[in-house]
Structures are given as C-alpha cells and as structure tokens.
Amino acid sequence: MTSIIKALPTEVVHLIAAGEVIDSLAAVVRELVENSLDSGATRIIISVCPQNWWVRVADNGCGMSLDDLQQAARGHSTSKMASCDDLWKVNSLGFRGEALHSLTTLAKVEILSRPARLSNKLSIESNGWQVIYSYGGKPEKVEAVALAPGTIVSVTNIFGDNTIRRQGLPTMAKQLKAIQVLIQQFALCHPQVHWQVWQDKKEWFGIYPTASMKQLLPQILHKVRTSDLQEITLKLPIPHKSLNLVIGLPNYYHRHSPDWIKVALNGRIINIPELEHTILSSFDRKLPRNRYPVCFLHLHLAPEQINWNRNPTKTKVYLHKLSYWQDQVSEAIEKALYINSDNFPESIHTTRVSKLIKAVEISDKYKTPQESSKKENFNIHSLTAVAQVNNTYIVAEHPEGIWLVEQHIAHERVLYEQLCERWQVTAIEPAIILYQLSAQQVEQLDRIGLDIDSFGENMWAVRSIPAILKEREDCGEALLELSQGGDLQTAQVSVACRSAIRNGTPLTIERMQVLLDQWQRTHNPRTCPHGRPIYLALEESALARFFRRHWVIGKSHGI
C-alpha cells in the first residue's frame, strides 16, 4: 500500500512555527486526540494511569498502513500537507508532523493500527500492525497483529528519563482536571463523536454523541437542561461557511463567573479576547448583576480566512476581518435571544401547538404595516390579556397555555429600549433647583446631557431633563438618582425603572393588552435591564398532565 505520510520538504519546515511543548499528561492526550479526530474517528477511548505515567488513545478512524506506521513518528512527517501553499489551506487539527516524533523523545511509544480501506477500494486488510519506536521515531519492532480497523497509540513512562521535569509539573489532580476539561472541549466541537475516558482501568466519564451542541451541553453542565438553552446556526456568504451558537437563555440559566464563554474555530477551542468581549457586551443589561452568560460559539470558516501558523500554540490564531465576525456574533446572539417558535423551549412543544404557533407567525392580522418589513419584531405570540393578579402580574392567554407577566419589569424593558433608541432631553421651565450637590454629581448630570449651572451657594439649576420624566412629580428625586454615577446606559436603566408602571397599580384589560403588545416587540423580551426574568410560561401540555386530562376519555367526563 502506498504511504500517504511523508516527510515535509525543507522549505516547508522552515516556514512552520515551532510546535507546542508537550509539558503534561493533558498535552499528550491533546496531541493524540487531535490525530484521532483528523482520522475521521467517531468513537475515541482515552485511558490514563497517572501513577504509571501512561496514556493510551484508541479510535475507529481510517487507520494507517505499515508504510505509514514506519514513517509516522519521524520528524515533520505528515499526511496533512505537502507544500508551502498548504500552510494557508489547513483543514485539519494537526499539520506540523511533530507530535508523535516529540513523544518518542520523552516516552516509549507504541502504535497498533489497521487501515479501514486499501486505497479507494472496499477491501479491508486482514490484519493490523504493531510498531514500537525508538528514540527519535525510528521503528524498533514491527509485528503483525489481529486488530479491528482503527488506531491505538500507547505512550508509557512519560518523562521517565527526566525526573526533575516530572517534579516540576502540576499536581496530578490538576493534570487530571485538565484532561477532563480538554475532552469536554473536544466533545463540544465534535458532538458526533462518542467519548469514553478511563482512569486506572476504571471508567471515569463518558460523553455520548448527539446531533447538536445544545443536546450535548447538559452532559457537561449537569445543572442545565436542554430547554434552558438556545442554539442557532447562521449560514454565511462565500467565502465564509457558518456560525453555530448555543447560549443559556438569560431568564433560565447563568453563572457566577465567565468560565463558560467559549469560542471554537473549525473544531478547536481558541482564544480570541475580542470575540469574548463581544459576547459579554451582547448580554449587557440582560443578566442579573455579577452574573455571566453560558455561550459557546463555533465558527466554521474557509481555511484561507485563518492563519493557524502565526503562533506556536494553535489556540491563538490570526482571524481575518475580525470586526466582521464581531458584528455576526452580535447579530446571532440577538436572534437567539428573541422569542419565537423556532427558539421556544423544547419542553413546551407539541405537534398541535407547533402547528398553531406556526399559523400565528404567518398570519398578517398579527402584524402592523411598520412591522411587516422587520421580521424579528412582529407580534408572534398572540398574547391576550385576561386578568391581573395582586395588581402586579398580568395573566395572558397564549396558544400554548398561560403566561404570567410582571407588569413593572415588562414596562421597564419597553421603556429602556425606547430610551436607548430615542434618548431625548427637553428644556423645562421653571428650572428644577437641587441642593448640596458634589462636584462629581454636577459632572455626572452634565455628562448625560442635562443643562445644569450654578444658582447660588450650594444650589444648582437644572434646565433640561430626560423627556420621559417631564410629567412626573418626583422629577427632583429622579435627578438626584441620576447624579450618583454611571454611564449613559446606567442613566437610561434608572430612568426606565423609575418611569415604569409600579407593581400594585391596577390596570384595565385594554392597558394590559397595550403593554403586552409593546413588550413582545422589544428586542430582548426575556429579562429586564437588571437581568430579572419577565414572564413565566405555564404550557398547555403541563397543565394537561397536572389535571390528568389524558387519563380519561369520554364525553361523560367532560373531555
């Protein structure tokens, strides 16, 4: 069988950035798993024996012929590129041809492999081959073995010839945690793969294959449910490919730290601080204070859009047109946060209800002329106000059941978005006189665009105010609140909160309906600007289960 693994030409080697240093058990696992994924494996088994400094990775990938096995561990030997031009067309996780060679310099390496096919024919080789490598990657022992198609790589006595290096490594507990995180990240990027991880010959954990990242994430974050998440895929114009995004819905799930803001590029978790900042900014005023989103972004791009070879660590890459991708990410998150039948929680879907809500979406009677041209902002829910509870909660009928909407924070979301779009400052007569303001308070009112000047000793005249406050009797108190600090956005939140309908205020059915219609047209109807959830959905299917309507069938029982 013709070998497909070949040594790179000298001119290519000179252009390749130095590879990552293998400095831990996790680094060994990373290099071997990347090779397994590049081989097309759909099942990968990782075994580690920390005390024996031993790692084994087995897969059901395409396997290697004997010729390839004899070449695989030599320096800069790879099947993934052949010329300088290939450096700008990297479609694989590995490409430098250094991983196996580096491993042979610090451990004992053994590979068993059997190719699934001979060339492009359907015939399968009757046996596999076992190769043990000496220092530097030269085959030391070659033997035929019975083996299923795929590859098994065993690396033993890691750093065995350098005890000082072993002593300088992180604790074994930290190394095992790093392996766990590594496998979880690979699984998110490759949800179609079945993962099994063993430690000291005992099953440690497993991750089962799923059709999407959204379905896989609960296997990693055990407190999150699929219905807490939303996933969307945007097809991008050529030469780009697609953007895949899964987020925790802010009214259902968020975290104490930004540890689950992750970005992947073509199958690998990477570090792009600019995109991570874009994600955080997109959730601003949608989460409670000091809470952070769950967001996994996976960009699938044409290889010419990326420079993987710019830095030795492949987690740091150069991405062309970064500002374009920031805009795409912001748009994707906005679409994911908007409430419609496509991103409604799975737990409340039934066949009948799905058809009903689809009918609502295409019905013109729920659209206004202004909204017809703006797809994301039409009234798709057909919420009908039916009652008010404790002068606080609006009870609304929905095609899928009953919704409870807190009137104050729903109105706060409406006013906040209106203020962001149309922040207006209007002159007033007479001026409002404020007393005992500090220099910082005066500066703050001036910063948000209000006209303020001295009116005597320890007195200031405010001659313009946010238009929405003009008719309020507590305008002076509102101005003192605005003077306490923060940027314009903070001021807009404060004004919206103060101006919104108070809980405890009785509303007519007509006023409730107007508020529901306004709220549904907001860009982010799930939470208020402080991050509190605005509504509670009681789905029809859950009500049916609670009242056991499916237990009895017959006209005499009122069904």
- pLDDT single digits (tens) 460-505: 888 888 887 777 777 888 788 788 777 778 878 888 888 889 999 9
Closest listed residue to residue 316, CA positions, set 12, 14, 17, 88: 17
The pLDDT of residue 74 is: 81
Residue 558 reports pLDDT greater than 70: no
The pLDDT of residue 307 is: 72
Higher pLDDT, 385 or 3: 385
Higher pLDDT, 401 or 347: 401
- 152 in Cβ contact with 112 (< 8 Å): yes
- End-to-end Cα separation, the chain, in angstroms: 71
The pLDDT of residue 428 is: 87
Higher pLDDT, 50 or 470: 50
- Tell me what the mean pLDDT of segment 6-29 comes to: 63
Confidence of residue 508 (pLDDT cuts 50, 70, 90): very high
Residue 531 reports pLDDT greater than 70: yes
The pLDDT of residue 322 is: 87
- Computed over every residue of the chain, the mean pLDDT equals 81
The pLDDT of residue 8 is: 53
* pTM beyond 0.75, yes or no: no
Instruction: Round to whole Å and give the CA distance between 461 and 459.
Output: 7
Instruction: Round to whole Å and give the CA distance between 104 and 71.
Output: 13
Lowest mean pLDDT among 62-71, 77-86, 165-174, 244-253: 77-86
Name the percent of the chain lying above pLDDT 70: 79
Instruction: Round to whole Å and give the CA distance between 328 and 268.
Output: 19
Confidence of residue 351 (pLDDT cuts 50, 70, 90): very low
- Tell me what the mean pLDDT of segment 266-278 comes to: 91
- Tell me what the mean pLDDT of segment 153-171 comes to: 84
466: left (phi over 0), alpha (psi -120 to 50) or beta: beta
- 55 in Cβ contact with 48 (< 8 Å): yes
The pLDDT of residue 405 is: 94
Confidence of residue 386 (pLDDT cuts 50, 70, 90): very high
Residue 169 reports pLDDT greater than 90: no
The pLDDT of residue 77 is: 67
- Tell me what the mean pLDDT of segment 352-375 comes to: 37
The pLDDT of residue 124 is: 54
Beta-carbon-side half-sphere exposure of residue 204 (alpha carbons within 13 Å):
19
The pLDDT of residue 361 is: 39
The kind and range of the H/E element at 295 are strand 295-301
CA-based angle 135:136:138, to the nearest 5? Answer: 85
The pLDDT of residue 548 is: 74
Confidence of residue 365 (pLDDT cuts 50, 70, 90): very low
Higher pLDDT, 83 or 33: 33
- 426 in Cβ contact with 450 (< 8 Å): no
Confidence of residue 125 (pLDDT cuts 50, 70, 90): low
Higher pLDDT, 495 or 355: 495
Do the strands 43-49 and 54-59 form a parallel or antiparallel pair, or are they unpaired?
antiparallel
Confidence of residue 127 (pLDDT cuts 50, 70, 90): confident
Lowest mean pLDDT among 139-143, 445-449, 531-535: 445-449
Higher pLDDT, 365 or 540: 540
The pLDDT of residue 45 is: 96
- Tell me what the mean pLDDT of segment 136-154 comes to: 91
Do the strands 194-199 and 43-49 form a parallel or antiparallel pair, or are they unpaired?
parallel
The pLDDT of residue 288 is: 85
Confidence of residue 374 (pLDDT cuts 50, 70, 90): very low
Residues with Cβ within 8 Å of 345's Cβ and at least 6 positions away in sequence, in order, are: 227, 228, 249, 252, 537
The pLDDT of residue 366 is: 32
Name the percent of the chain lying above pLDDT 90: 37
